[in-house]
Amino acid sequence: MMDWIMYADIQDLKRKGLKRARVAKILGIHRETVTKYWNMTPDEFEAAKSKHRERKPDINTFSGRNDHLQQNLLYRLT
């Protein structure tokens, strides 16, 4: 989950003085996710979000024994 609401919630709870583990528990996300975004600036978050969106699966990495997985992926992408 990479969205501005989550980022804003983390930053808001940080400003209120909560610890990372407490923020994670309140938001229902892993504490390492909180740590990842804890000190990010809005510009850094936007860059990370944009990079995440551009990532696409590389169907060439499938081996021949996983043809059914490749076909399933191709079916879902079309």
* Of 43 and 76, more confident: 43
The reported pLDDT for the residue numbered 1 is: 45
The residue among 66 and 24 whose pLDDT is bigger is 24
pLDDT tens-digit readout, 16-47: 999 999 999 999 999 999 999 999 999 999 88
Q: Where are the domains of the chain?
A: 4-77
DSSP 56: -
Higher pLDDT, 41 or 53: 41
And the tokens for 55? 């990532």
Q: How far apart are CA 25 and CA 70, in angstroms?
A: 37
